[in-house]
Amino acid sequence: MPTAIIADDERLMRDQLRMRLGQVWPELEIIGEAKNGDEAIELVDQLKPDFTFLDIRMPGKTGMEAATVIGNKSNIVFVTAYDAYAVEAFERGAVDYVLKPPEQERLQITVDRLKTRLNKPAADVNASVTAMLSQLAEKIATPKPAYLQWIQASIGQDLRMIPVEEILFFRSDEKYTCVQTERYEALIRKPVRDLAEELDPALFWQIHRATLVNVNAIEGVTRDIRGRHLVMIKGKPDKLEVSRSFLHLFKQM
């Protein structure tokens, strides 16, 4: 059986990629997961996987840096959200790539390519990675934007400082935005369109022009008798409508 490891600092992304690979290549055995480049290097040495899926940007050693150390010990597949500038570079290289979020059609192309490499020695990726780094280093090195860490919200006559990770969802009406946590509901005047620009998009998905939801609070998606897609929230009776333009976020579910 072909084997692989997945390296990504975001658990949700690892889970999504594992699930998608299981759909398009059920014979592939995921034998390990890493949260950064250093862990990926260790797993390659210990487990000797046929393929290593490396997120480009991770804490510690990045995926690009890890790939230069891994060399020809495993076939490298980069996982990247930077389709606007990375695809051409990857197409010219000796490695393959997967775009975030992993879409089944594009992942199938990658899998077909990887299958042809199973009986061949892994390519030494150092030259290819060096060439890519010269093109991508500036953008890869750009620090992540400073997203909101706290929300100041009103509960009656009181003001609360709410850590964003405790917020299940934001839902706006004409005047206020409701901030829903597991324990209470608060109000702010900032509209969802502004919050969407200030919150980490990996943590909060906009699913409607008036709704943002914490991805860690999503229990699943259902459909009502009218055919609308509704997000179910863990431990809550709330069901949040998903606009048609945001349905693509849930293709992997």
The whole-angstrom separation of Cα 132 and Cα 81 is 15
Q: Which alpha helices (H) appear in 166-241, and where do they start and end?
A: 192-198
Residue 83 has pLDDT above 60, yes or no: no
- Quote the pLDDT of residue 85: 46
Is the Cβ–Cβ distance between 232 and 223 less than 8 Å?
no
- Which of 54, 63, 74, 64 has its CA nearest to residue 13? 54
Q: Going by C-beta distance under 8 Å and a sequence separation of 6 or more, which residues neighbour residue 248?
A: none
The whole-number average pLDDT for the span 140-169 is: 80
Confidence of residue 29 (pLDDT cuts 50, 70, 90): very high
For range 105-128, the mean pLDDT:
77
| Average pLDDT for 155-168 | 87
Average pLDDT (31-46) is 95
pLDDT at residue 93, as a whole number: 54
pLDDT mean across residues, the chain: 84
Lowest mean pLDDT among 97-111, 115-129, 172-186: 115-129
Q: Which two tokens stand for residue 50?
A: 């046929």
Q: Give me the pLDDT at residue 123, please.
A: 66
